[in-house]
Structure 1
Amino acid sequence: MPSRMLVEVDGREVELSNLDKVLYPSAGFTKAEVIDYYTRVAPALLPHLRGRPLTRIRYPNGVAGQGFFEKNAPSGKPGWVRTETLPVPNSTHGRETIDFVVVDDLPTLVWIANIASLELHTPQWRIGADPDLLVVDLDPGEPAGLRECAAVAVLVRDRLGDDGIACYPKTSGKKGMQLCCPVAGTQNSEIISGYAKRVAEELARTVPGGITAKMAKQLRPGKIFIDWSQNAAFKTTVAPYSLRALSLPTASAPLSWGEVESFAIGSATAHQLSPSEVLARLESDGDLLAALLSPGPEVPAR
């Protein structure tokens, strides 16, 4: 296989390189397979990325090597890649603005996959707009795991449902789960984050032995941390269908509530999903997170 080759993707020329390079050594999963996965999952993934500034976690030498976060558009990007210059308050690099890549189309997705952007993270808002998503991140403290996350997810679903807010679950692709909730897009991140915090604290009071709403890691063993802070304007969450950089390839995968309930009671084995499992489920079930693409209700302000 040549080390570099030009391919046409939806009318754009994209240069691919080192396709046989193994990025997940424990699975022998190559860069070509990463690009193939992102190409095949693109019809479901792209609508969740469009209009959102993208943070990438790149692993040029594979997951066994050093990875790094990248927000700024890299030098040498194709001229047709969309970028947006956005303010970045409190940047650790002292920058006032960053030129973010925005993945609106398949050529851009293939390009970022080719530069070993394994993980794709986005904020809860689209450029120029208030948040259209509320995210509840469920992070298990050992020995709690995905099963315990599923049980808490059901509690969160029912509590948010009391306020007319619908939740759609997905695995994180690592240890836990996230619940994604479409909201109206008419309230700022402070209101959304404040509401999520109130709900998290309420549930922690209700189930103090199994839930915490506090970030201190010493409080987490055996509990599920409901991370309400993911709704802050500067925070990002792993995108639906994104790969994760573990020893074996997994992806952040949508779940049905029937699956979540089965995980919670132990009638099905709770596990993170592989790329092939995600693609098979997408073919049979479609995008279980499609409802996130339409506005939801406003959250209670108090």
Structure 2
Amino acid sequence: MPVSVKGSITIHGQTLSITNPDKLLWPERGITKRIYLEKLAALSPYLLRYCQKRLLTVIRYPHGVGGMSFYQKNAPDPLPPFVQTYTQDNITYIVLGGLPELLWLGNLAALEFHPSLHYIGSDLPCEWMIDLDPTLEVEPRIMEAASIVGRVLSSLGLISVPKTSGATGVQIIIPVKPGVTFLELRKIGHFVGRFVTEKHPGLFTLERLKKDRGDKIYFDYLQHFGGKTLAAPYTPRARPLATVSTPLTWAEVDQDVTPTDFHLLNIEERLSRLGDLIENVAPQPVEDIIKQLK
């Protein structure tokens, strides 16, 4: 997907104007907008899978990482004719339909993609996601914490997939069948969170206020809620090393990998070798646990 010197590309019949293709977006990695758009195109089969048909929030960095940024929920005006929108709660969201829309957003220096946890027009979750959120900016115990939660989920008969947030945390994804509610999943989340905090009180906390957490890792089951967002699998992150939110194997978690191991300059090779680690996990029997908790 070459970007011409004049700054235009044609994707799926749509011609996009590319402004400032040589602007550095991740200076420490030497990643220009031109390179970013090429990497977005490579990520698109995976990233789009977890953003399509959802309400999309992006974070834009017009001057690249390190510069000012802003969250964008409302679609900007004017819009290209191929970009669709959906209005909910007086917000007109961009509907990320395919590669042209993705690259259009990339040209606007949208460096992060945060979709809703439910599909457009639905109030039911697409999957269950547990967010492990470190209080410390550098947290060497994050993979240990993820491994503990993974083992608890496995003891409940649930297969899960950990992923780096691309920042400091880890999310754990459990595919579910349609029909399970956010409330039901938060109840299971609270059950698991309470269990791990009681077993490992020096590592986990359920305290929502950061100032009251000390150095503990917050087991966030409340973020899984209608109207909330989390970083999509395979979204780039506006961090200095151009990290990507990357699904992991549990063996990698046990090897204590770090979020900075996975970034825009090596993610293509990983995906060509491993593919999407989430895609082939069947919906898990969370209904059985819900019944027992009742």
TM-score relative to the length of structure 1: 0.88
Partner of 1:175: 168
Are 2:226 and 1:233 aligned? yes
How far apart in 2 are the matches of 1:172 and 1:111? 24
Are 2:138 and 1:136 aligned? no
Are 2:9 and 1:7 aligned? yes
Q: Decide whether aligned partners of structure 1 residues 192 and 4 sit closer, same or farther in structure 2, where only a CA change above 3 A counts.
A: farther
How far apart in 1 are the matches of 2:223 and 2:5? 40
Of residues 225-234 and 190-199 in structure 1, the stretch that sits farther from structure 2 once superposed is 190-199
Could you tell me which runs of 5 or more consecutive residues in structure 2 were left unpaired when the two chains were aligned: none
Equivalent residue runs for 1:109-124 within 5 Å: 109-124=102-117
Instruction: Using the TM superposition, give the Cα deviation of residue 41 of structure 1 relative to its aligned residue in structure 2, in angstroms.
Output: 1.1
Partner of 2:277: 288
How far apart in 1 are the matches of 2:107 and 2:138? 36
How far apart in 1 are the matches of 2:187 and 2:227? 15
Q: Decide whether aligned partners of structure 1 residues 110 and 203 sit closer, same or farther in structure 2, where only a CA change above 3 A counts.
A: same
Q: Is residue 167–residue 259 contact of structure 2 (8 Å, CA) maintained in 1?
A: no
Instruction: Using the TM superposition, give the Cα deviation of residue 3 of structure 1 relative to its aligned residue in structure 2, in angstroms.
Output: 7.7
Instruction: Using the TM superposition, give the Cα deviation of residue 2 of structure 1 relative to its aligned residue in structure 2, in angstroms.
Output: 7.5
Equivalent residue runs for 1:47-126 within 5 Å: 47-87=49-89, 97-126=90-119
Per-residue CA deviation, residues 249-272 of structure 1 (Å, 9 max, x unaligned), is: 111111111100111xxxxx5342
Partner of 2:34: 32
Instruction: Using the TM superposition, give the Cα deviation of residue 208 of structure 1 relative to its aligned residue in structure 2, in angstroms.
Output: 0.6
Partner of 1:266: none
How far apart in 1 are the matches of 2:271 and 2:57? 24
CA RMSD of aligned residues (A): 2.0
Q: Is residue 138–residue 168 contact of structure 2 (8 Å, CA) maintained in 1?
A: no
Partner of 2:247: 254
Q: Decide whether aligned partners of structure 1 residues 144 and 209 sit closer, same or farther in structure 2, where only a CA change above 3 A counts.
A: farther
The alignment partner of 1:43 has SS state of helix
How far apart in 1 are the matches of 2:208 and 2:79? 38
Partner of 2:285: 297
Q: Is residue 144–residue 221 contact of structure 1 (8 Å, CA) maintained in 2?
A: no
Instruction: Using the TM superposition, give the Cα deviation of residue 4 of structure 1 relative to its aligned residue in structure 2, in angstroms.
Output: 5.5
The alignment partner of 1:230 has SS state of coil
AA of the residue aligned to 1:67: S
Partner of 1:94: none
Partner of 1:18: 20
Equivalent residue runs for 1:152-301 within 5 Å: 152-263=145-256, 269-272=257-260, 273-291=262-280, 295-299=283-287, 300-301=289-290
Q: Decide whether aligned partners of structure 1 residues 158 and 60 sit closer, same or farther in structure 2, where only a CA change above 3 A counts.
A: same
The alignment partner of 2:222 has SS state of helix
Q: Is residue 205–residue 219 contact of structure 2 (8 Å, CA) maintained in 1?
A: yes
